Chain A
Amino acid sequence: MSWLTNFLFSSIGRKLTMSLTGIFLILFLTVHLLGNLQLLAGDGGEKFNLYADFMGQNPLIQFISIGNFFFIFLHAVLGILLYFQNKAASGGGTSRYAVKSTKTTTYSSRNMAWFGTVILVFILIHLFQFWFKMKMTSIPELVTYDGVEVKNLYTLVAATFSNIPFVIFYVVSMIVIGLHLSHGFQSAFQTLGLNHKKYTPIINGLGTAYSILIPLGFAIIPIVFYLTKA
């Protein structure tokens, strides 16, 4: 089995892991956003609360969610490790020359690890605010729809986003995710070896659209909650 560990720890193997976990997270973000947009349904949270309850009960979703935690962890740990190894291999990254040239690279591609670290901090705070409170405490009160009792996560979201520092924190974090993906999306395909005259322009276009629309969709939620708060 040493061939397998050699493969996974090789330079290309590690980048393939970054790419595949990154693509998984991209898919996750899409599903996560579609679910969250129900917060804006204008029904006092009924749809969203029932959806959150379903997601919390369904064994398949629970299984995928464990995978999701693991992939975020793997992507983050490996990403930070790559950052330090690359810095060591180059003897100081972009600042190893007396004249720093940034003409040939994009801002996003040079700062992937910084964006990633901000995203990691965001994820930890975000999980504490919603996931932890939902699962481990009795903070969201119960609400009953047609005789079904579920936790009222909607009120917790509304309370959080009535607070301007949190609104700003969420919006800024979404911008950082957008920057991470403006390089990461197309980079993931290049890493997988998908560079093709016909498909690469499509992938690049999709990447640009994705890295703007998805973070925008997420960012709208706290803004709408703040502006329409009672």
Chain B
Amino acid sequence: MKIHLKVWRQRNGESKGYLEDHQVEADEHMSFLEMMDVLNEDLVSKKETPVAFEHDCREGICGSCNMVINGQPHGPDSGTTTCQLHMRSFKDGDTVVVEPWRAVAFPVIKDLIVDRSSFDRIIQAGGYISVNTGQAQDGNAIPIEKGRSAFAMDAAECIGCGACVAACPNASAMLFTSAKVAHLGTMPQGEVEQSTRVQSMVKQMDLEGFGMCSNTGACEAECPKGISITNIALMNRQYAGSVLGSEKSV
């Protein structure tokens, strides 16, 4: 199948980018990244600079293969990362536009690669639990209601790719941050620090320059892991509860 690609090229953060046209001969069994590999091999053989894009696991768990494909983060299929998207989702002769995540807090490094260290700093602000390691504890020592652990597990599915920010008309990071807040704070081990965690993580999120949530739901719809905006509601009420209710402010 022939694909007419329009790929975003940008030498570095300072330079201006543009969409570059390419024809790629793909196969419907290829993943989207394999199709990009074909393009890059072709570019290398012509002694041109290959398109820079991030990838690692290629099995939908690392969250690095980030591209906006025809206006949709991770492309047209729902619940799918770009590496798990296959060319059979496109038709012979299709024009496919590939762009990087766009948000002020995600500056472009090169071509399709953006700097997502703002997410790392949100995690550093409170996305952890402080337990002293020691001997392995009995897994069943703390009884946890099934619904609770399932909710935490659902939130823990977030791979931190940033598709929520890329999809949000406001480039808000509320879905990412709330997934971490919900995942860590719902279980007893993380609940202890939840009050300060919520305040610290929201504070860092605001400092990074993400937009605010307008509840459009675009994040939830584009999330490759189906993280729900229920987590955002939870973070909103826990944030208000923590600031107004606890004596500690961050």
Listed in ascending order, the chain A residues whose CB lies under 8 Å from chain B are: 3, 6-7, 10-16, 82, 85-94, 96-101, 103-106, 109-110, 112, 183, 186-187, 190-195
| CB closest chain-B residue, reference A4 | B243
B203, A10: Cβ atoms under 8 Å? yes
Residues in B37-90 with C-beta less than 8 Å from chain A: 68, 70-72
CB < 8 Å A-B pair total: 140
A192–B103 CB distance below 8 A: no
Q: Is the CB of A91 within 8 A of B171?
A: yes
User: Contacts A82-B212, A97-B102, A99-B70; is A104 near B218 (CB within 8 Å)?
Assistant: yes
Which of B103, B105, B215 has the most A CB atoms < 10 Å from its CB? B215
> CA of A103 to CA of B103 in the docked complex: distance in angstroms?
20
Given A11-B205, A85-B212, A98-B99, verify A192-B243 contact (CB < 8 Å). Answer: no
**Cβ contacts A to B, 23 pairs, < 8 Å:** A11-B213, A15-B236, A82-B212, A88-B104, A89-B170, A89-B171, A90-B103, A90-B104, A90-B169, A90-B171, A94-B169, A97-B68, A97-B71, A97-B102, A99-B70, A99-B71, A99-B97, A104-B221, A112-B214, A190-B233, A191-B236, A192-B233, A193-B235
CB distance from B170 to the nearest CB of A (A): 4
- Interface membership of B184, Cβ < 8 A: no
When each residue 220-250 of chain B gets 1 if its CB lies under 8 Å from chain A and 0 otherwise, what string results?
0110000001101111111110011000010
Closest to B102 in A: A96
B123 at the interface (CB under 8 A from A): no
Minimum distance in angstroms from B241 CB to a CB of chain A: 8
* Inter-subunit contact B211/A187 (CB<8 Å): no
Taking CB atoms, residues of chain B closer than 8 Å to A110 are 169, 216
Q: Give the shortest distance, in Å, between A118 (CB) and chain B (any CB).
A: 17
Q: How far is the CA of A87 from the CA of B6 in the complex (A)?
A: 25
B217 at the interface (CB under 8 A from A): yes
A26 to B49 Cα, complex, angstroms: 57
Do A93 and B170 have beta carbons less than 8 Å apart?
yes
Which residues of the other chain, B, contact A109 by a CB distance below 8 angstroms?
A: 214-217
